[in-house]
Amino acid sequence: MKTILITGCSSGYGLETALHFHAKGWNVVATMRNPAAAPFETSDRLRVVALDVTDEDSIALALELAGPIDVLVNNAGIGLVGSLEYSPMRKIRDLFETNTLGTIAMTQAVIPQFRARGAGTIVNVTSTVTLASFPFAAAYTASKTAIQGFTNSLALELAPFGIAAKLVEPGYGPTTAFTQNTNIALEDVLPEPYWSQAQPIFAGMANAELFTTEAEVAAGVWEAVHDESGRSHFPAGADAVAMAEAA
C-alpha cells in the first residue's frame, strides 16, 4: 500500500486531496501547521502531522514521523491579492517563504529517500496564473511561476533516478480560503486609483461561469500521480483546462 504526504491539509485543495487518496485506499500523511484543527475522522491509514514548510527543523521532524513515502504533494500556500505598490514587502517575503522556498525545501528533503529507492513522485500545486496573466496578483504570480520553472528543470534532473516531478495547475477557486491567511484588508492594498480598475474585475470573477473546485484539484493530483505518459502539466478545473488549451 502506497503512502502520500500532502502539505497544507487544514482546508481547501490539501484537505480534499487527502480525503480523495484515503478513499482510494492509500496511506495518507496529512500535514498542517496546527494539527489540533485537523478536520479528519480517525483512521489507521491517515495520520495528521504538524508541519511548517518555512521551518527546516519542522520539515525534518515531519518526515521522520511520516516514515517512508512514495509521493510528496507540495500544496501548502498563501495568497495575496492587491496592487504591488501597496503590498507590504514583509507579506511578499512571507508569500515566497511559503509558496516558493517552502516547496523547494520540502522537495529537497524528500529527494534522498526517493533516490535511494529509485522511485518517487513529487507533485507541485501551482496555479493558472502561470498560464495567463492577471492584474493585482503580481507577487503571487511570481511565487508560483518560480515553482513552474523549478519543477520543469527538476524533472530533467531527477528522471535518471526514477523520480518524477509534476505540476498541477488549479484555476480560480472561489470556495477556498485563498486570501484569508494574509491578514491584509483588501482596501489597504487596493486604494484609489487602483480600486476603480479592480472593481469590475472582481465583479466578473464573482460571476465566473468557469472555475475550479477542490474535488477537481484532488482528481488532478490523482491523475498526475498515476500518469505514466511522461506528461508533466495537469490543469485542474474547467477554467484551468480552457486556459491550458488556449495557451
Report pLDDT for 65: 98
- 168: nearest Cα among 106, 234, 116, 112: 234
Does the annotation mark 140 as catalytic? yes
- 104: nearest Cα among 16, 7, 35: 7
* Residue whose C-alpha cell reads 475522522 in the numeric block: 41
Residue 14 near residue 76, CB atoms below 8 Å:
yes
C-alpha 20, offset from chain centre? 16
In the set 13, 86, 140, 172, the catalytic residue is 140
pLDDT in tens, 105-135: 999 999 999 999 999 999 999 999 999 989 9
Find out whether the peptide bond into 135 is cis, omega within 30 degrees of 0. Answer: no
pLDDT in tens, 177-200: 665 556 788 889 999 999 999 999
Q: How far apart are CA 233 and CA 57, in angstroms?
A: 31
Give the SS3 label for residue 72.
strand
In the chain, the domains with their CATH numbers are 3-246 (3.40.50.720)
pLDDT of residue 51 exceeding 80, the answer is yes
Q: How far apart are CA 31 and CA 169, in angstroms?
A: 20
- Reading the block at residue 164, the C-alpha cell is 518524477
